[in-house]
Amino acid sequence: MRVDRFRAARRTFPDALPDLPPALAGFLYRKEKLRPEHLMALLVRLEGKGHVASAPGDDGWVFTRSVSGAQTTPSERALLETMFDGSGRSDLPQLSRRLTRRGVRSLERALTREGRSRGLIRPAWLWWPAFAAVACLFAGALFTPYFLNEYTPLHLSGMTAFAAALPVVTAVLMLLPHPRTPYGRHVGERLAAVAGDPDAAEPVLAVALGAPPERLVGGGPDVRAFYRDRDYRDRWDADVRSRIRSAHVSRGGGHGRRRRWRRGRRPPLTPARSRRPPPRTRWPPAVRSARRAHR
C-alpha cells in the first residue's frame, strides 16, 4: 500500500537531480548517517567559498580560517564551529579531538534541518507521534489474544493466537511512516544512480558520495589537493570514522566517558557504598553501666 502510493507520486517528480549541497546529498545517500566523506565534502566546499585555506604541514595538512562573504549552510557553519572552536588554525588531530558527541550531533542535526527545509525528510513532530501510535497498536495486537484467553472461554492455542495476530501486526507495520517524504525517496534513488557513475557528477558531489580521487576525471580546482593526497585521505577516513562511531556508542557527552563494566562484575565499592556496617563504639565499663542505668 505504501509502495503503491510512492510509485504513484514518483511519476510526477522530475528525473533531474535537484540542486543539493554535496554533503546533504551524501547524507541522504547514506540513509541519514554521517560519514567521513561528508565532512570532507563540507571542507572542500568551504575552501571553495573562501572560508578555509589549506596548506601542507609537518603532520599532514593545516587549515586556517579565512574571511569570506559567501553564504554558508547550517552544516558548514557547524563544521566551522567544531573544527576551529574559537581558534584560527586546525588540523586532523585537533579535529579528531574536537569531534565529540556534541559536535557529531550538531552536524547531524544541521544536515537533517537542511533536508527538512527542502521537503526531503519528514519533520519530527509528524514522525514521533505516528511512531508512538503505531507502537500502541502493535502492543494491542500482541496482547489481545492473551486477554481473550484470560477473560473469555475461547482458549486459543499459542499458534492460533500467533496466526490471528500476524495479519494485524503486519498491517500495523505498514502504517508506520517512512522517515523520508516520497520526494526524498525519489531523490535517494537518483543519488544511488549517480553514485554508480561518479565521473558524470560534479567533483564535490562525487566526493560526498564516496568516490575515490582516481575516478574524478577533470576535477579541476573544485577537488582540493588535500583530497587528492591518498595517505591523508586514508588517515582522515580512519580517524573521523572512529570518532563518529565512538560518539554514537558512548553514553557520556563531551571529552569524558563513563566506564562500562562487564556483565557479572561489579565496580569496587567506595566507602560511601560499602556494605560493611560502621564499627561500634566501645565505651569504657563505667560509661556502659551508666548508660544501662539510664535506660
Going from N- to C-terminal start, the domains of the chain cover: 22-122+203-249, 124-174
The single-letter DSSP state of residue 121 is: B
Q: Indicate whether 290 pLDDT > 60.
A: yes
State the Cα–Cα distance between residues 82 and 258, nearest whole angstrom: 22
Residue 150 CA: distances (Å) to CA of 137, 142, 159, 169: 20, 14, 16, 21
Beta bridge partners of 89: 64
pLDDT confidence of 257, banded at 50, 70, 90? very low
Q: Which three cell numbers stand for residue 43?
A: 571542507
**pTM for this prediction:** 0.69
pLDDT confidence of 231, banded at 50, 70, 90? confident
Give the pLDDT confidence score for residue 165 in this predicted structure. 67
Q: Indicate whether 73 pLDDT > 90.
A: yes
Higher confidence at residue 166 or residue 82?
82
| 117-149: pLDDT as tens digits | 998 988 877 667 777 777 777 777 677 777 777
CA dihedral 174, 177, 183, 188 (to 10 degrees): -80
Give the pLDDT confidence score for residue 154 in this predicted structure. 67
Question: 3-class DSSP state for residue 99?
Answer: coil
Q: What sign for the dihedral angle of Cα 82, 86, 91, 94? A: negative
pLDDT confidence of 254, banded at 50, 70, 90? very low
Higher confidence at residue 248 or residue 283?
248
Q: Compute the half-sphere exposure of residue 136: CA atoms within 13 Å on the CB side of its CA.
A: 5
Give the pLDDT confidence score for residue 158 in this predicted structure. 62
Give the mean pLDDT of 205-231: 70
| 34-55: pLDDT as tens digits | 999 999 999 988 998 999 998 8
How long is the chain?
Answer: 295
CB within 8 Å of 48: residues ≥ 6 apart = 204, 221, 222, 224
Closest CA to 98 of 86, 111, 83: 83
Question: Starting at the edge strand that comes first in sequence, how are the strands of the sheet with 52-57 ordered?
Answer: 52-57, 60-65, 89-91
Q: What are the E-state strand segments in the chain?
A: 52-57, 60-65, 89-91
State the Cα–Cα distance between residues 292 and 289, nearest whole angstrom: 5
Give the mean pLDDT of 63-84: 91
In terms of average pLDDT, the best of 58-62, 118-122, 201-205 is 118-122
Give the pLDDT confidence score for residue 77 in this predicted structure. 93
- Tell me which of 120-129, 233-242, 253-262 is least confident: 253-262
